[in-house]
């Protein structure tokens, strides 16, 4: 029985700079080059923090390891999984509570405050409405008296 054909992914930390963790496919190589400091490391001497035939598993292990090395984590973590997560969240939130554009825009105009058109525009992505929708809804809100324009390009709750 031999597993020599199976791919093994090993997660290692560079012992020279100690800030770089990387996934190395074990192909029987003698040395590994640190992607951060460029040191040539003896592969067989390196501590294997994770050893898996599953690349996804190795990526997860490396992500966790890198986060604990760098302390702040976020900027060095591969974003794939987090991106997926937030996408799922947005979708479920959207389904659970569809808000009307009027409500969404009002939520960005606090009572007793004047909000500029540019401000509102910068929120459109966050609100999940397009620019056109924003313009149309603002117009409607002005007409219906939800809001008024104390000066051109600025809005307040009526």
Q: Interface with Zn ion by CB under 5 A: which residues?
A: 14, 16-17, 20, 34, 36-37, 39
Longest dimension (CA), the chain: 81
As a whole number of Å, the end-to-end CA separation of the chain is 79
Shorter beta-carbon distance to Zn ion: residue 16 or 117:
16
Shortest CB 27 distance to Zn ion, Å: 20
Shortest CB 39 distance to Zn ion, Å: 5
Shorter beta-carbon distance to Zn ion: residue 10 or 14:
14
Shorter beta-carbon distance to Zn ion: residue 69 or 142:
69
**Which of 144, 145, 120 is CA-nearest to residue 134?**
120
158 vs 142: CA distance, rounded Å:
9
- Residue given tokens 């496919």 in the structure block: 25
Shorter beta-carbon distance to Zn ion: residue 20 or 124:
20
Shortest CB 16 distance to Zn ion, Å: 4
Shorter beta-carbon distance to Zn ion: residue 19 or 77:
19
95 vs 6: CA distance, rounded Å:
43
Shortest CB 131 distance to Zn ion, Å: 47
Cα 124 to Cα 89, 130, 137, 151: the distances in Å are 18, 6, 12, 21
Structure tokens at 119: 């401000």
Phi-psi region of 89 (alpha: psi -120 to 50; beta: other; left: phi over 0): alpha
Shortest CB 55 distance to Zn ion, Å: 22
């Amino acid at each position: 029985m031999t597993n020599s054909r199976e791919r093994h992914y090993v997660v290692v930390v560079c012992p020279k700079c100690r800030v770089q963790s990387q996934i190395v496919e074990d192909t029987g190589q003698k040395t590994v080059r640190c992607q951060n400091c460029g040191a040539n490391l003896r592969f067989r001497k390196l501590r294997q923090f994770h050893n898996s035939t599953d690349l996804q598993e190795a990526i997860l292990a490396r992500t966790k390891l890198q986060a604990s090395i760098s302390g702040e984590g976020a900027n060095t973590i591969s974003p794939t999984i987090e991106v997926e997560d937030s996408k799922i969240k947005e979708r479920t939130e959207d389904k659970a509570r569809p808000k009307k554009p009027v409500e969404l825009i009002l939520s960005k105009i606090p009572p007793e405050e004047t909000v500029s058109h540019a401000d509102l525009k910068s929120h459109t992505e966050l609100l999940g409405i397009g620019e056109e929708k924003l313009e149309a809804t603002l117009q409607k809100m002005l007409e219906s008296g939800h809001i008024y324009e104390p000066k051109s390009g600025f809005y307040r709750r009526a």
